[in-house]
């Protein structure tokens, strides 16, 4: 039996992917740019075994068996990697042997955070390791067919998914813009918001947007091409000010498109909007753009902030969004910040103004994940396996 275990990171888009020109091949209507997060705090982990006695392809997700062969996206990933293996002459594992796959996220899926990107990236990366094929752009085109945003999780640092123009999607691939070492003090705070509403899944929401939004084509054709160039330059120059402005504007435009969809898709809630107001008030109080927000298809906020500004931003968040769980590792997860919650951090006087502290109820944030820019997927040693004799442990 051949067994391989790998982990893959989450990525959060700065320029959003929203809208497909081909549903089946998952070809987007515009380029997107993301930052890969450190896998220490959030990652998907996948083990794949292949053996001649396995009767069917099977998969367990977070311990529960899921249908595999009826799932077109999973099968397209498996077939895609096998096709590359044939083209590469890789014969490490016979291609007609069935596979057993176990996959887990090390963060709660209930948090509504990008789990499909890490999951499909991990699946495709682990298959590539199993069959012994290289990690390259062709492989990102396979991950893309699992979930669009997954293609960006095959690389670390900042990554651009090029929409491509070809009908077969072979040029719709992800490329690294810069490695994580280029901007190592880039940190992220994910504010997990309490929310129980049922939201339209991304795949459906973007489908409806393409057919009903009058604004989405303008975004894809005019706004995004300019923004991707400007953001790439801001990243290359480590220009946080431009980076922050473009990121916030693109998040706002994505949610404007969601509202322009008919019937509308509402992903942000009142707490999300008060976080937006908070970030703008905070930046004004400190006199420069030190924090940037972005929201995916849900109410949680991802805040980008440089490492040296994290303690002050966290202290301000604590002032504006008080929480009974502070100080605790349950509330601030991931990278710990000394003295968080002790109110030792000196805040500019403007931050204590009544304006800044809109009246907010307590405990509107469930918890905060503090992480930073990270690497792409990696293979783990055999003692990390999620399968024993082909069955989940």
State which residue, 3 or 147, has the beta carbon closest to ligand DP6: 147
Q: Judge contact between 379 and 5, C-beta under 8 A.
A: yes
Given the complex with ligand DP6, which of 203 and 274 has the nearer CB atom? 203
**Minimum separation from the CB atom of position 254 to ligand DP6 (A):** 7
Contact pattern for ligand DP6 over residues 104 through 143, marking x by CB under 6 A? ----------x-x---------------------------
To ligand DP6, the closest distance from the beta carbon of 129 in angstroms equals 23
- Say whether the peptide bond before residue 263 is cis (omega within 30 degrees of 0): yes
CB of 212 to ligand DP6, least distance (A): 17
312 makes contact with ligand DP6 (CB under 6 A): no
As given in the structure block, the two tokens for residue 335 are: 């990278």
Give the pair of three-digit tokens for residue 339.
């003295």
How far, in Å, are 196, 200, 279, 295, 352 from residue 271 at the CA level?
A: 13, 19, 12, 12, 20
**Is residue 293 a contact residue for ligand DP6 (CB under 6 A)?**
no
The footprint of ligand DP6 on this chain (CB under 6 A) covers a number of residues equal to 14
Q: Find the shortest distance in angstroms from Cβ 261 to ligand DP6.
A: 13
- Residue 310 corresponds to which tokens in the numbers above? 């994290």
| Window of 85-93, 144-152, 313-321, 364-372 that interacts with ligand DP6 by CB under 6 A | 144-152
Q: Between 205 and 390, whose beta carbon lies closer to ligand DP6?
A: 205
Based on CB atoms, which residue is closest to ligand DP6, 90 or 114? Answer: 114
What residues from 5 to 24 belong to the interface with ligand DP6 (CB under 6 A)? Answer: 13, 16-17
Q: Which residue of 9, 80, 119, 148 would you call a contact of ligand DP6, by CB under 6 A?
A: 148
- 3-class secondary structure for the chain? CEEEEEEEECEEEEECCCCEEECCCCEECCCEEEEEECCCCCEEEEEEEEECCCCCCEEEECCEEECCCCCHHHHHHHHHHHHHHHHHCCCCCCCCCEEEEEEEECCCHHHCCCHHHHHHHHHHHHHHHHHCCCCCHHHHHHHHCCCHHHHHHHCCCEEEECCCCCCCCCCCCEEEEECHHHCCCEEEEEEEECCCCCCCCHHHHHHHHHHHCCCHHHHHHHHHHHHHHHHHHHHHCCCHHHHHHHHHHHHHHHHHHHHHCCCCCCCCCHHHHHHHHHHHHHHHHHCCCCEEEECCCCCCEEEEEEHHHHHHHHHHHHHHCCCCCCCCCCCEEECCCCCCCCCCCCCCHHHHCCCCCCCCCCCCEEEEEEEEECCCCEEECHHHCCEECCEEC
- Contact with ligand DP6 (CB under 6 A) among 31, 138, 250, 296: 296
**Which of 140, 149 has the CB closer to ligand DP6?**
149
Of 126 and 300, CB closest to ligand DP6: 300
- Nearer to ligand DP6 among residue 148 and residue 390 (C-beta): 148
Place of tokens 């690389």: 155
Measure the CA–CA gap between 258 and 265, rounded to whole angstroms. Answer: 5
Residue 324 Cβ vs ligand DP6, minimum distance, rounded to whole Å: 31
Among 105, 126, 147, 290, binds ligand DP6 (CB under 6 A): 147
Pick 103 or 147: Cβ nearer ligand DP6? 147
Under rule CB under 6 A, residue 242 binds ligand DP6: no
Residue closer to ligand DP6 (CB basis): 93 or 188: 188
Nearest C-alpha neighbor of 61 from the set 128, 146, 134: 146
Min separation Cβ 150 and ligand DP6, Å: 7
Which one, 195 or 296, has the nearer CB to ligand DP6?
A: 296
* Shortest spacing between CB 116 and ligand DP6, in angstroms: 5
Write the interaction track for ligand DP6 spanning residues 166-205; mark x where CB under 6 A is met and - where it is not.
Answer: ------------------------------------xx--
Q: Minimum CB separation from ligand DP6 for residue 281, in Å? A: 25
Where on the chain is the footprint of ligand DP6 (CB under 6 A)?
Answer: 13, 16-17, 26, 32, 114, 116, 147-149, 202-203, 296-297
């Amino acid at each position: 039996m051949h067994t391989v275990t790998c982990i893959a990171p989450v990525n959060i888009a700065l320029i959003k992917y929203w809208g497909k020109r081909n549903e089946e091949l998952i070809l987007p209507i515009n380029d997107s740019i993301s930052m890969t997060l450190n896998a220490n705090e959030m990652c998907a982990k996948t083990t794949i075994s292949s053996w001649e006695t396995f009767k069917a392809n099977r998969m367990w997700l977070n311990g529960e068996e899921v249908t595999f062969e009826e799932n077109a996206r999973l099968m397209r990933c498996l077939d895609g990697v096998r096709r590359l293996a044939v083209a590469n002459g890789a014969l490490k594992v016979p291609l007609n042997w069935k596979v057993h796959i176990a996959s887990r996220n090390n963060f709660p899926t209930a948090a509504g955070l990008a789990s499909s990107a890490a999951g499909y990236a991990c699946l495709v990366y682990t298959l590539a390791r199993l069959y012994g094929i290289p990690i390259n752009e062709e492989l990102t085109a396979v991950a893309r067919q699992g979930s669009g945003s997954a293609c960006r999780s095959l690389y670390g640092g900042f990554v651009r998914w090029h929409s491509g123009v070809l009908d077969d999607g072979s040029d719709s691939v992800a490329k690294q813009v810069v490695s994580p070492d280029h901007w190592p003090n880039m940190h992220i705070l994910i504010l997990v918001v309490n929310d129980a509403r049922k939201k339209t899944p991304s795949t459906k929401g973007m489908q409806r947007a393409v057919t009903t939004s009058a604004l989405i084509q303008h975004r894809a054709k005019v706004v995004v091409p300019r923004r991707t160039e400007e953001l790439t330059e801001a990243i290359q120059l480590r220009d946080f000010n431009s980076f922050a402005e473009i990121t916030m504007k693109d998040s706002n435009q994505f949610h404007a498109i969601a509202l322009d969809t008919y019937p509308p898709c509402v992903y942000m809630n009142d707490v999300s909007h008060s976080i937006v107001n908070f970030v703008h008030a905070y930046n004004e109080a400190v006199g420069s753009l030190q924090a940037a927000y972005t929201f995916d298809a849900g109410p949680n906020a991802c805040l980008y902030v440089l490492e040296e500004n994290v303690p002050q931003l966290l202290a301000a968040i604590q002032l504006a969004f008080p929480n009974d769980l502070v100080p605790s590792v349950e509330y601030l997860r991931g990278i710990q910040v000394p003295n968080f919650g002790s109110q030792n951090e000196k805040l500019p006087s403007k931050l204590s103004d009544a304006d800044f502290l809109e009246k907010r109820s307590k405990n509107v944030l469930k918890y905060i994940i503090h992480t930073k820019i990270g690497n792409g997927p990696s293979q783990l040693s055999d003692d990390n396996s999620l399968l024993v004799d082909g069955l989940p442990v």
